[in-house]
Each structure stands twice: as structure tokens, then as C-alpha cells.
Amino acid sequence: MMADDLLLGGIEAGGTKFLCALADGEGRILDEVRIATTTPAQTLGAAVRFFEDARDTRGPISALSIGSFGPLSLNPAAHDHGAITSTPKPGWQDTDLLAPFRHLVAAPLALDTDVNCAAIGEHLFGSGRGLDTFCYITVGTGIGVGIFVGGSAHGGANHPEAGHIPVPRAPGDADFAGICPFHGDCLEGLACGPAMKARWGVPAETLPLDHAAWDIEADYLAGLCTTLSYVVRPDRIILGGGVMQAGHMYTRVRTRLAEKLAGYDASLRALSMDDYLVAPTAGASAGLTGALALSYRTAARQWPMHWHAHLNVRDDSLHPQGMPLAAGGRDV
């Protein structure tokens, strides 16, 4: 099949909204929809109808991929492969994400975490371009980590859960119990956006620059980056999400990371922190772009490197344009 003939489906499944899109083989968005995340029956039902309508009007869908919030069961040998598993999100535990879409496509469906799909987007079009090994971290409602090794997202027996690692207490933060329903004071329990709100009584975005919260937060995120630096040995760490909208955090995390790495080993000493720890640049819809790119890879057996132009990402990564995917989409 020529790339021109491809009809590619992608879904970015989030705790607030599902973005569904249909693209051609050139990465041009043909149609898209934004669906509120309510119950699995309602939300998945609306997503299935979107792709059924698309198939009825445009013809067979070549491939369909989903990037979802988790935890997910991604090992094909697992009895619950394709399911959201132990999520605290009400109603979504043990939801099979793949079964409702199987009748739509002959090709195998692809499912990966939202962060891995965003990492694919960054790899193809953003801050991970040309990099063999990098980590993608998002600090928002939770803390998610995608680990890209050797040109693809690391899966293993199941996807990494580096957001839930234990971290040493930051100076000045001995007592806060943390909010992770499973571990209490794991990294996510101490440092995700809602943890900051629980710790300080107000949303993170309202805290003044000189508040102690920021250096504590930077210490925790630098702890994660230290662990990833030693375990993965990435070329770069991409750090994004709502909490990193507080742009002053980048300098704080870089400074703490350099202190924690403590000059250990020549290649770490040689790092320029400004280049090693960076913001995402593939735009807010990198996860959806990554899902569509996965569909392209399923159908064409290679990554869609030629999509760059259509996706309107400028080479000047200091001025990310963002993906035009979500713009002008319908709401359901």
C-alpha cells in the first residue's frame, strides 16, 4: 500500500479527555474529535463511533494506535493485555482499551503509555530528535516517565513506572505523608501537582517564586533525574507537564541535578545541564502525534520521518509551534 492511501487512527487517552484523530500517510489531519473522559462505556463508545463514521465515509482504516494513561497491561502474553489495570480513576479499573476497536482494523492495534507516545512525538519532531536514548518526564496530575532506548520506547515485561520510585526526603520536607494511594511518599506522592497542592494548601501555580515549595520540588525531580541518569544513561532528559509551566523550575532542577551527580564520571561531568535537561518542544499534542506515528509504523513498517513539514514544527526548538492537531477539533 502506498503511503498516500493510508488512513491512520490515533487516540490520546487522558484522564480528562480523549483526543481522537484520523490522518493520511503524509501526517495531515483529516478529522479529529475531543471526547470528555467520563465512564468507559460513554467515552470509548464515542471514540468507536468516531472511527466507525470515518471508516464509513473514507474507507478502511489502515492502523489504529492508542496512547493512554495507565497503569496499562502491555505484555502481549498477559491475560489482561490491553487493559488499564490498577488506576485510581473511578470506573476505569480493568477496562479493556483494545477490544472495542478490534472490529475497525485488520492490522494489529498498538497500545502504549501516554508518556511513551509523547516520547515518540518528541523523538520524531521535538527535543528528542536524532537521539538514540533519552527520558521523557511529565509532572502534572501524576508523574509519568517514558524511556527511549535504542530508537524505541522501552517496554520490558511491562512499561516502566519510574514516577513511583522512592526518593530521599528533600531538605525541609520531613513530615509530609505524600498522596500516592499505593505508596504514600513515593516520588509521585511527594511531587506531582496534586501533592504540591496537598502539601501547601493552594495550587502550585499560585505559589510565589520565593516559596520554599519550589526548591523542595526541584530536589525531588532532580532525584528522579539522578536515578534516570545512572540507570538509563540518556543523552537527554525532557521534562514537561503542568508543574514545569513554572519555567523557573528548569534552572532549579538543573542546579540540584548537577549537585546530586556530584561530578561523578567524566561523561556526566562534561554535560551541559542546559542541553541535558530540557523542555518538550513537540507541542501539547505530542502524545496524539506519537499514536498516529505508531499507526504509520504499523502500516508502513517505518517511522514517518517525512511528517515533520506537515506538523508545522519549526527547527528552532526555542519557539515550539505545537502540533496543529487539537486546534479546531470538534468537542463531543
> Which of 39-47, 82-90, 102-110, 243-251 is the region at the interface with ligand ADP (rule: CB under 6 A)?
243-251
> Which of 60-68, 145-153, 242-250, 270-278 is the region at the interface with ligand ADP (rule: CB under 6 A)?
242-250
**CA triple 288-291-297, angle to 5 deg:** 145
Which of 71, 100, 140, 155: binder of ligand ADP (CB under 6 A)? 140
Which of 17, 169, 183, 197: binder of Zn ion (CB under 5 A)? 183
Residue 180 interacts with ligand ADP (CB under 6 A)? no
Contact status, residue 299 vs residue 6, Cβ threshold 8 Å: yes
Residue 259 interacts with ligand ADP (CB under 6 A)? no
> Which of 46-54, 175-183, 240-248, 263-271 is the region at the interface with ligand ADP (rule: CB under 6 A)?
240-248
Which residue's CB is nearer to Zn ion, number 169 or number 183? 183
How big is the site for ligand ADP, counted in residues (CB under 6 A)? 15
> Which of 9-17, 35-43, 182-190, 309-317 is the region at the interface with ligand ADP (rule: CB under 6 A)?
9-17
Task: Go through the chain and tell me how many residues it has.
Answer: 332
Residue 133 interacts with ligand ADP (CB under 6 A)? no
Residue 88 interacts with ligand ADP (CB under 6 A)? no
Beta strand 7-13 pairing with 330-331: unpaired
Which residue's CB is nearer to ligand ADP, number 194 or number 324? 194
Which of 246, 258, 291, 326: binder of ligand ADP (CB under 6 A)? 246
Which of 165, 161, 136 has the alpha carbon at shortest distance from 148? 136
106 φ, ψ to 5°? -80, -35
> Which of 96-104, 153-161, 239-247, 295-303 is the region at the interface with ligand ADP (rule: CB under 6 A)?
239-247
Question: In sequence order, what are the residues at sequence separation of 6 or more whose Cβ sits closer than 8 angstroms to the Cβ of residue 74?
Answer: 81, 111, 112, 113, 155, 158, 159
Which of 15, 24, 53, 4 has the alpha carbon at shortest distance from 292? 24
Compute the distance between CA of residue 332 and CA of residue 47 in angstroms, rounded to an integer.
9
Alpha helices in the chain, H assignment, sequence order:
40-58, 114-125, 187-191, 193-200, 212-232, 249-261, 266-269, 273-276, 286-300
Residue 260 interacts with Zn ion (CB under 5 A)? no
183 binds, among Zn ion, ligand ADP, none (CB under 5 to 8 A by kind): Zn ion
Residue 186 interacts with Zn ion (CB under 5 A)? yes
Contact status, residue 20 vs residue 50, Cβ threshold 8 Å: yes
31 φ, ψ to 5°? -160, 150
Residue type at 136? Y
Residue 241 interacts with ligand ADP (CB under 6 A)? yes
Which residues in this chain contact Zn ion in the complex, by CB under 5 A?
164, 180, 182-183, 186, 188
- Judged by the rule CB under 6 A, the positions of this chain that interact with ligand ADP are 14-16, 140-141, 193-194, 203-205, 241-243, 245-246
